[in-house]
Amino acid sequence: MRVLSFKKVVILITALLLLGSAVVAVNAYSSATVQSKAEIKIVSTDQALLALIPGENQAVDGLAIIDEAKGVLKLALTIDPEEDVDKVFVFNDVFRIKNNFSSEIELSLESDLDILTATPNDTTLPPGDFTSVDFTVTIAEGEVSYEGTLQVKANPVD
């Protein structure tokens, strides 16, 4: 039987302790929880970082109004399908998009309705500035009712 020297025993024990400490350290940091205070505010759409505001005279005409109870912008485009077949309608300054964010943003508008074109599209908006959104609606023969979604997308400019 071979006997290890005192020096080799100390080195072996030290190596095992270091290995054990490394395993404990790795397992100790496999997950972490950080607590941070945050404030969440629910505001009306006209006060949000990307604000949607009725265009000039649109609230009066009822075309674009803010539903205060829900905090959303509602649009109501009224066209008589009996009289207005195969016609193109342009609605100017339907609503405005205001950048309440602290940096410039890129805006895009997407509609799932083929009859609706919203402009401007793919534009940038500096902080505190706004842009007016216009609609062009083309009514096809035989169609009497349309329902769809217009998405306003914003991304910070790099």
Domain that holds residue 91: 50-156
- The pLDDT, as a whole number, for residue 53 is 83
26 in any annotated domain: no
Per-residue pLDDT of the chain (158 residues; tens, 9 = 90+): 566 677 776 777 787 777 767 666 666 555 666 776 766 666 667 677 888 888 886 665 677 777 777 767 777 776 665 665 567 888 888 888 899 988 999 998 888 888 888 888 888 999 999 999 898 888 766 666 677 778 888 888 87
Secondary structure (3-state) at 23: helix
Q: What is the structure's pLDDT at 127?
A: 93
**Would you state the pLDDT for residue 31?**
62
Any domain includes 68: yes
Identify the pLDDT of residue 66: 75
Spatial contact of 76 and 67, defined as CB atoms under 8 Å apart: no
Q: What is the pLDDT of residue 24?
A: 63
How far apart are the two ends of the chain, measured CA to CA in Å?
A: 71
Q: What is the CATH number of the domain that holds 90?
A: 2.60.40
Domain count, the chain: 1
Tokens 């397992």 appear where? 27
User: Is 80 a member of any domain?
Assistant: yes
* 21 belongs to a structural domain: no
Q: What angle do CA 112, 117, 123 make, to 5 degrees?
A: 100
* 3-state secondary structure (DSSP) of residue 101: coil
Kindly tell me the sign of the dihedral angle through the C-alpha atoms of 106, 89, 87, 82. Answer: positive
How far is 73 from 150, CA to CA, in rounded Å?
11
Is the dihedral angle over the CA atoms 89, 93, 95, 98 positive or is it negative? positive
